[in-house]
Structure 1
Amino acid sequence: MKIIALSGSLRRASYNTALLRAAVDLAPAGVSVELRTLHGIPLYDGDVEAQGIPEAVTTLREAVRAADALLIGTPEYNNSIPGVLKNGLDWLSRPSGEGAKLFGGKPTGLIGATPGGFGTVQSQDALLSVLRTFGSDFWMAGRLMVSHAGQVFDADGALVDDKVRGQLQQFMQGFAAFVQKRVAA
């Protein structure tokens, strides 16, 4: 089984990228998790699209298309989806109708980390609207929202909180089981 783990943050020391790196390490046996970012994807502009889909978008699209599932790690900015993540998803949905073709029926899970105290609940909730529009097969049985991320990761981005490690491992096992059922169907 192959899962694409997409970080919704560009920051080098992103807690969400660190959380996804930990998810790679905690994936169950037989599950390959490939971390991807949104680096190199320009701001969406219909004039740019008219000249062709940028290579960074095409590369990411093909990785998502080839994967059995998508795991998104999202920060929360101003109680919603980070602009860079929404922009990346907008590009992946172009040209019109591509979102449903790419994401339709694709098993999808959400995790997120934030320095604040509420996890990424509002960002994840806002992202559900986008995923619903695409027809994603969203895993409703589990979401992971990490609060106070500055205490959960060390200065090098390693996950140092055993409780969160256990929650992430449990999440990855549950998500992999969900994906396996969908792939086998």
Structure 2
Amino acid sequence: MKLLGISGSLRNGSFNTKLVYAAARRLPKGVEFSFVNCADLPLYNKDLDLEVKPQAVQNLLDSILASDCLLIASPEYNYSIPGVLKNALDWVSRPAYKSVLAGKPTAIVSASIGPVGGARMQVHLRDVLSATLTPVVQAPHFLVPQAQEKFDGEGNLVDEDTGRRLERYIQDFIVWAESLSVR
């Protein structure tokens, strides 16, 4: 099983990027982890969406194709999905209903310095992914509020309760993703 981590944040020291790596450290044995950075993607433009794609787009497509499942971590910007993540999804969601996302088991996690942990972003992201036929873990939602209190200066998840919840969430996700691949 190969899991690809994607962060919806470009910020150095992003709690969501830290959350992806914290989840990777809790993966069951035998699960391979890789991470893709969306920073270099051009803004989606149908005129550029040709057989030969911009290199950063092709790298993202290849990374998704090579994975069995996805873990998307994202902050909440203005109650919704950050532009960098929406842009990445716009690139990889084509052709409609037959994209690299269709049928790819996906988990969503979010961290925020606020009290709701990115919950509103998760609702919007689930809606966007449903349009791409991407199966998403429906429950429980994994939220990390007050993230600044949960990570240390080196980026380690130090809150024990959050660490236990994350380990359970990511391991349950892998079991679910494997069950979908058996079909």
TM-score, structure 2 normalization: 0.94
Q: Is the 8 A contact 1:105 1:135 kept in 2?
A: yes
Counterparts of residues 29-178 of structure 1 (less than 5 Å): 29-49=29-49, 52-94=52-94, 96-97=95-96, 100-178=98-176
What's the offset of the Cα at 1:108?
0.8
Q: Is the 8 A contact 1:6 1:72 kept in 2?
A: yes
Please give the per-residue CA displacement for 1:73-96, whole angstroms capped at 9, x wherever unaligned. Answer: 0110011001110011111124x4
Instruction: Give the Cα–Cα distance (whole angstroms) in 2 for the partners of residues 78 and 3 of structure 1.
Output: 29
Instruction: Give the number of aligned pairs.
Output: 183
Greater mean deviation of Cα atoms: 5-14 or 39-48: 39-48
What's the offset of the Cα at 1:36?
1.7
What's the offset of the Cα at 1:50?
5.4
Instruction: Give the Cα–Cα distance (whole angstroms) in 1 for the partners of residues 147 and 86 of structure 2.
Output: 22
Aligned CA distance change for structure 1 residues 34 and 50 (closer, same or farther; 3 Å): closer
2:17 corresponds to which residue?
17
What is the RMSD of the two structures over their aligned residues, measured on CA atoms?
1.5
Greater mean deviation of Cα atoms: 12-21 or 141-150: 141-150
Q: Is the 8 A contact 2:92 2:99 kept in 1?
A: no
What stretches of structure 2 of length at least 5 have no aligned partner?
none
Instruction: Give the Cα–Cα distance (whole angstroms) in 2 for the partners of residues 38 and 48 of structure 1.
Output: 17
Aligned CA distance change for structure 1 residues 137 and 50 (closer, same or farther; 3 Å): closer
What's the offset of the Cα at 1:114?
0.5
1:28 corresponds to which residue?
28
Secondary structure at the aligned position of 2:109 is classed as strand
Aligned CA distance change for structure 1 residues 155 and 180 (closer, same or farther; 3 Å): same
Q: Is the 8 A contact 1:119 1:146 kept in 2?
A: yes
Letter in 2 for 1:148: Q
Instruction: Give the Cα–Cα distance (whole angstroms) in 2 for the partners of residues 179 and 51 of structure 1.
Output: 30
What's the offset of the Cα at 1:52?
4.4
Letter in 1 for 2:143: M
Instruction: Give the Cα–Cα distance (whole angstroms) in 2 for the partners of residues 31 and 51 of structure 1.
Output: 32
TM-score, structure 1 normalization: 0.93
Q: Is the 8 A contact 2:112 2:118 kept in 1?
A: yes
User: Which structure has more helix as a fraction of its residues?
Assistant: 1
Q: Is the 8 A contact 1:143 1:171 kept in 2?
A: no
Instruction: Give the Cα–Cα distance (whole angstroms) in 2 for the partners of residues 49 and 136 of structure 1.
Output: 21
